[in-house]
């Protein structure tokens, strides 16, 4: 069964009709021979051109909307997955966003102190309809950050799910999924922020952290 038309349409956060998103999708996929090459190029561009940064204000809608994430050049997983979904829709590839709670061993001492846990709620990926089926792609962690921390860079071939790095290069457990929350046509912003206010009150109160997560991140 083909995907619902809504997965090709712009939404408030997945604003695939924004001029900057359309230009980004066009430039990145230039030279791609088919849909598979196009979606892989989009994934790599979002993964590496937008830095992973959980220090952004997680209550600010601009840190979730695709066009704002592209302009800022940094975001945490929710914003990056939203950008990939928007770029895919702009390129004619049906897309939605998915979420899960994960245990993540990559953080910084400051962030861990504020969270009080290594469980990250609402970790996000993009769910893309390629070659007649849905495949999951997680563009969260840029390759330069992975290299610095001794992690495998998470690749995506457009054919199979690419969700997380289960182990680091030394064989230590890096990430695991605790529970799945499903997929959505747009970012469920209000629900996400409500959970963050409940579970991460100290982090929410900061309204974003100063500093460079790329430099401070460690493998916990």
Chain segment 124-182, per-residue pLDDT in tens? 999 999 999 999 999 999 999 999 988 889 999 999 988 765 545 555 555 777 889 99
Confidence (pLDDT) at 167: 47
pTM of the predicted structure, to 2 decimals:
0.94
Q: Beta strands of 12-143 (E only): which ranges?
A: 51-52, 74-75, 95-104, 106-107, 119-130, 133-137
Domains and CATH numbers, the chain: 5-219 (3.10.620.30)
DSSP 181: E
Report the chain's terminal Cα–Cα distance, integer Å: 43
Q: Which tens digit of pLDDT belongs to each residue from 48-100?
A: 999 999 999 999 999 999 999 999 999 999 999 999 999 999 999 999 999 99
Alpha-carbon distance of 119 to 103, in angstroms, equals 4
DSSP 8-state secondary structure symbol assigned to residue 125: E
Tell me: the pLDDT tens digits for 90-99?
999 999 999 9
């Amino acid at each position: 069964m083909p995907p619902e038309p809504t997965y090709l349409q712009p939404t408030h956060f997945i604003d695939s009709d924004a001029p900057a998103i359309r230009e980004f999708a066009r430039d990145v996929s230039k030279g791609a021979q088919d849909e598979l090459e196009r979606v892989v190029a989009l994934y790599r561009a979002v993964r590496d051109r937008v830095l992973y940064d959980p220090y952004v204000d997680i209550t600010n809608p601009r840190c979730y909307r695709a066009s704002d994430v592209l302009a800022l050049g940094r975001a945490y997983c929710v914003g990056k997955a939203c950008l990939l979904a928007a770029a895919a829709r702009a390129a004619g590839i049906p897309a939605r966003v998915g979420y899960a709670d994960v245990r993540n061993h990559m953080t910084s001492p400051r962030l861990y102190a504020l969270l009080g846990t290594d469980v990250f709620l609402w970790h996000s990926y993009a769910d893309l309809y390629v070659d007649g089926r849905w495949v999951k792609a997680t563009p969260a962690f840029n390759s330069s950050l992975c290299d610095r921390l001794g992690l495998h860079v998470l690749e995506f071939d457009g054919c199979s799910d690419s969700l997380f790095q289960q182990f680091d290069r030394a064989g230590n457990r890096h990430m695991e999924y605790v529970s799945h929350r499903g997929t959505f046509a747009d970012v469920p912003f209000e629900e996400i922020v409500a959970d963050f206010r409940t579970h991460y009150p100290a982090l929410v109160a900061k309204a974003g952290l100063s500093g460079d997560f790329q430099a401070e991140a460690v493998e916990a």
